[in-house]
Amino acid sequence: MDNAFTRIGLIGKYGDPGVVGTVLELSRILQERGCEVLLDEQTAASMENPGLPVASQDEIGRQCNLAITVGGDGTLLNAARNMVRFKVPLLGINLGRLGFLVDVSPNDMNLRMNEILDGKYEEEQRIMLTTSIEHHNGGADSMGDALNDVVVHKWEVARMIETETFINGRFLNSMRSDGLIISTPTGSTAYALSSGGPILDPDMDAIVLVPICPHTMSYRPIVIDGDSEIEIIVKENPHAHAQVTCDGQINLGVVSGDKINIRKMEQCVRLIHPCKHNHYEILRAKLNWGGPF
């Protein structure tokens, strides 16, 4: 089978010199297979004379037909928010500890990359969220995207926030809490899980809302259709301030009275996995679940 990936962008964990050896070895493997390689400019900044063409992530998105991240899930989350606009698939080399999204070990990198370049791989599409904040004081709207989750949370340690939530224009609840997690199925094994949310199959077209330490214990996580539009209003409280965080990496300021709109993005992010990728096997390994008796 002809190699579908002829020009490949490499994106390493920012500011981590530990990725250098893996990036250089990966570039050697790809070039031996006749692939053109572009190195992300921020990754190149941590390397001395990498000997590779350097490009921004936007340029990688426009020019490449595959992007490979070297790091952990956070590195892939960051790249996904850029690559989804260009419909460029992503593959992750795992230098992190948990790694639900990045599933190629550096020890297997040579074998797995040659298999993938031979056309032996699996591709899946994951939904993403986009959020906009309408500032009630007339300021410019704030925007952010997320593969894992959008979190509305308190700014101060000792104060709760009060929010009103609407689903497709219908009132859901008013809640005092430390915040609210709006998660994709991908993010259901991240912050949402640690806050008591359910694990969703990553192929589902669904969104889960998980309260963070609600003042009333009757509040529980709720799973809604992926095409739902969510509106959250931060209610007036002179003593508490909130912020919105996308994937734990982008922070958007919110003040009382602002309206937060969250919905599914039109585009899905494309993820490449080695053959026989098994999400449930990853769950067992990462969450220390027992195998069959």
Q: How many CB atoms lie within 10 A of CB 18?
A: 12
Q: Which of 40, 58, 73, 203 is the catalytic position? A: 73
Tokens for 81, please give them: 């928010």
Strand partners, 234: 163
Residue type, 109: M
275, 268 Cβ separation under 8 angstroms: no
152, 232 Cβ separation under 8 angstroms: yes
- Burial of residue 250 (CB within 10 Å: 0-12, 13-18, 19+) is middle
Strand order in the sheet with 7-12: 54-55, 36-40, 7-12, 66-71, 90-94, 269-274, 121-126
Tokens for 175, please give them: 């809640």
Active site residue 2: no
CA distances from 187 to 2, 43, 100, 142, 159 (A): 34, 25, 10, 22, 26
Q: Could you please report the per-residue DSSP string of 92-146?
A: EEE-SSS-SS--B-GGGHHHHHHHHHTT-EEEEEE--EEEEEE-TTSPPPEEEEE
Question: CA 147 to CA 102: how far, in whole Å?
Answer: 14
Q: Where in the sequence numbering do the catalytic residues fall? A: 73
